[in-house]
Amino acid sequence: MFVPSYYEFVNPGKILSGKYALENIASEFKLLGSSRVFVLSDKVLNELGQVKVLCDALVSGGVQVVGTFVDIPADSSIEVVNRIAEIYRQANADSIVALGGGSVIDTAKGVRMLISQGGNDIMKFVGAEVLPFARHVPFAAVPTTSGTGSEATAVAVIKDGARKLKMEFISQFLLPDLAVIDERFTVSMPARITAMTGLDALTHAIESYSCLQKNPVSQSYARSAIMMIIENLDKCISTPSDRKARLAMANGSLLAGSAFSNSMVGIVHAIGHSLGGVCSLPHGLAMAILLPHCMRFNLEKCDEDYAEILSFCISPEEYAAVPRKERGLKCVEVVETFANAIAHDAGLSLKLSDNRIDKASFEEVAARAINDGAMIVNPKAVSKEDVLAILEAAY
Amino acid sequence: MVMNNNISIHKKISNSMKSLVARIVLFVLYRGIKVLAREDSRIMGEFQSWPDGLSVVLETSYNGPSISLQKKGDRLVRVSHSENANIRITFRSIDAAFLVLTGQIGVARAYAEHRFMLSGDICQTMSIVRCIDIAESYLFPRLMTRRILRKVEKKEFSTIRVYRKIFVGV
Ligand SMILES: [Fe+2]
């Protein structure tokens, strides 16, 4: 296994995974010295009654829910963060629980950072690894999609609404104290979302495994994630109520999150972010479309890593039958076949042209992609022309 | 209780040697980018995309040598140290800065190894990183750049010409 000349790894917070995980948040919070919880979520989850399930669990466990904010938009922003922090202070809360997908959890990370650091505007804290530790605000993240892994990452991406830019915050103090996976929230995800978020998680694991920051710990996490995702994602789509498969996917997503939080993702995310920004293509779908093409692009630099990844995806017998020199390429093909099958089952197309992407936007997408922070850890240098060629191949 | 706040002599010497080298390389790098921003088409393109007035501080450690630069019109100029630069890159130790400034590791590797802290916009920083990579393709010997850069950029003119402009100015 690869050991870099130097690496760092920030462990995720405490993981509570499985049956009645929610019911254990209260006792954990009491240990952390808090009793006045502020709950963040979105409209849909509130209407589905999920927020109530959470609050019931908290109050039954002996903490108070002193405020809720359930209007977090799918595309949250700095302004929303600043507003929620204001409400949090008025409620005199002392801890945060976020229930939702990536947007809700990232918003909550922003709110927590602002409460912890003080002040009215989170924009002051943009950057990588510069924030000092401030006041501790106990924070639990409960993911309802299995994809972003945000419950286990030290990163938050929040839009600056005024400038229409995604701002990136990186700090170990963004990590939730508790990553809570409760199977009650995983079974209701529709097939399309399951497919997109699941392939996003797979992309996290594969990119993390093969990009420049890879290290023994991140690769161990990524490896487990890849195995769980390959084994369970199709089951989650064919049998949505399969709790075992759902729980495994949620764990895969969490591990992939922790892996990429420490060994950052590369070109797939760089291009995916800009396709999202310019053409509003959903993140998971962008990942699913771009992953095989970008793997092919990186193959010359990632051959060995891909060969290892292949061994996580197929049986030992099949693996042994592939000549050593062809394993990297075979991995790309296996991943491509897997992504296509998942997309097919969920009724998605993995072509840009089928997803209302206009070729006219390629220039801007490419220009933005090479400025994306994720490019810095991609093992192969990427020019604007390279991005254009990948977009063309994915069209 | 034994206090242990005196740095031993060999670490002291090492620190000051590395600081000295860092100071020289920072100067060469600054002058190099300044020259290349007028002469190399790629750096020129990057430089022109920066907002006017953009300020960048590069610190080789919390108390080591640093350089503060600002884009003023179409020129890159050295300015006095400011606490409020748009982008601040701070190496976590003079040893880390030395690794990068002497071409032992590239900027991408340094980032991967958490060798520096960054405050400011990450997208903007990517453009600066590309400039440094291209500048290194000129300023460092190929033997070195082949090892530390993911891709050695083609030089549009000779290294000697860049060094002549850096030191002689013509
Ligand atoms: Fe992602």
- Name the strand (E) or helix (H) holding B93: none
The reply to whether B16 falls in a domain is no
Considering only CB atoms, B119 lies closest to which of A130, A375, A379, namely: A130
Distance CA A292, CA B26 (A): 41
Cα radius of gyration (chain A): 20
The helix/strand/coil state of A97 is strand
In this predicted structure, the answer to whether residue B33 has a pLDDT above a threshold of 90 is yes
Are B151 and B109 in contact by the 8 Å Cβ rule? The answer is no
Identify the H or E element spanning B87.
strand B87-91
Top residue of B86, B121, B131, B152 to mutate, by most chain A CBs within 10 Å, is B121
In Å, what is the CA distance from A216 to each residue of A206, A253, A275, A292, B103?
14, 19, 32, 24, 26
pLDDT at A353 over 70: yes
| pLDDT at residue A243 is higher than 90 | yes
Query: pLDDT tens, B66-105?
Result: 999 999 998 999 999 888 899 999 999 999 999 999 999 9
Decide if A206 contacts A222 (C-beta within 8 A): yes
Cα A145 to ligand 1 centre (Å): 12
d(CA A303, CA A327): 8
pLDDT at A258 over 70: yes
Query: What would the pLDDT profile of A65-75 be if each residue is shown by its tens digit?
Result: 999 999 999 88
Question: How many contacts does A have with B, using Cβ atoms within 8 A?
Answer: 66
- Tens digits of residue pLDDT in A33-59: 999 999 999 999 999 999 999 999 999
Does residue A250 contact residue A181 with C-beta atoms inside 8 Å?
Answer: yes
Q: How confident is the model at residue A379 (pLDDT cuts 50, 70, 90)?
A: very high
Quickly state the pLDDT bin for A119 (edges 50, 70, 90): confident
Tally of domains within chain B: 1
pLDDT in the model for residue A1: 82
Q: What does the mean pLDDT of chain A come to? A: 94
Cβ contacts (< 8 Å) between A155 and chain B: which residues?
Answer: none
Find chain A residues with C-beta within 8 A of B112's C-beta.
4, 212-213, 264, 376-377
The ipTM estimated for the assembled molecules is 0.85
Is residue A284 within 8 A of residue A201, CB to CB? The reply is no
How far is A384 from A270, CA to CA, in rounded Å? 12
Which domains, and CATH codes, for chain A?
14-185 (3.40.50.1970), 191-394 (1.20.1090.10)
pLDDT value, residue B81: 85
Confidence of residue A183 (pLDDT cuts 50, 70, 90): confident
Q: What is the model's pLDDT at position B31? A: 93
pLDDT at A128 > cutoff 70: no
Percentage of residues in chain A having pLDDT higher than 90: 86
Cβ atoms of A54 and A142 within 8 Å: the answer is yes
Q: Do A213 and B119 touch (CB under 8 A)?
A: no
**Distance between CA A353 and CA A347 in Å, rounded?**
15
Residues of B in contact with A7 (CB under 8 A): 113
Confidence band for B170, pLDDT divided at 50, 70 and 90: low
The answer on pLDDT for A389 being more than 80 is yes
User: What 3-state DSSP class applies to A143?
Assistant: strand
What residues of A are in the B interface, CB distance below 8 Å?
4-8, 126-130, 165, 167-168, 212-213, 264, 370-373, 375-381
Q: Give a yes or no: residue B32 inside a domain.
A: no
Asked if residues B64 and B94 have their Cβ atoms less than 8 Å apart, the reply is yes
User: Which runs of consecutive H residues, i.e. helices, occur in B40-141?
Assistant: 41-49, 94-101, 107-112, 122-139
Q: Is residue B34 part of a domain?
A: no
Picking from A291, A294, A278, the residue whose alpha carbon sits closest to that of residue A356 is A278
User: Residue B141 sits in a domain of what CATH number?
Assistant: 3.30.1050
By residue count, chain B amounts to: 170
Please report whether residue B10 resides in a domain.
no
Q: B127 to chain A: which residues are within 8 Å by CB?
A: 371
B25 falls within a domain: no
Residue numbers of the domain that contains B63: 41-167
The per-residue pLDDT for range A107-116, each reduced to its tens digit, is 999 999 999 9
CA torsion sign, A129 to A130 to A132 to A135? negative
Measured CA to CA, the distance from residue B16 to residue B7 in angstroms comes to: 12
- Span of A121-125, A198-202, A363-367 with lowest mean pLDDT: A121-125
DSSP letter (8 states) at residue B73: T
Please check the confidence at residue B158 and state whether its pLDDT lies above 90. Answer: yes
Q: What are the residues facing B72 on neighbouring strands?
A: B75
User: Considering the domain boundaries, does residue B59 fall inside one?
Assistant: yes
Adjacent-strand bridge partners of B119: A127, B88
Q: Are A228 and A17 in contact (CB under 8 A)?
A: no
- Averaged pLDDT for residues A116-131: 80
Domain assignment of residue B110, yes or no: yes
Q: For residue A164, what pLDDT band results from cuts at 50, 70 and 90?
A: confident
Calpha distance B26→B20 (Å, rounded): 10
A87 by Cβ neighbours in 10 Å (0-12 / 13-18 / 19+) ranks as middle
Average pLDDT over every residue of A191-210: 97
Average pLDDT score over residue span A268-284: 93
- What are the DSSP E strand ranges found in A293-348? none
Rounded distance, CA A373 to CA A380, Å? Answer: 14
Question: Span B120-136, mean pLDDT?
Answer: 89
- pLDDT for A332-345, tens place per residue? 999 999 999 999 99
Give CA–CA dist A193/A329, Å, rounded: 29
Do the chains contact at A212 and B126, CB–CB below 8 Å?
Answer: no
- For residue B41, with 0-12 CB atoms within 10 Å meaning exposed, 13-18 middle and 19 or more buried, which class applies? exposed
Mark residue A119 as left, alpha or beta (left: phi above 0; alpha: psi -120 to 50; beta: remaining).
left
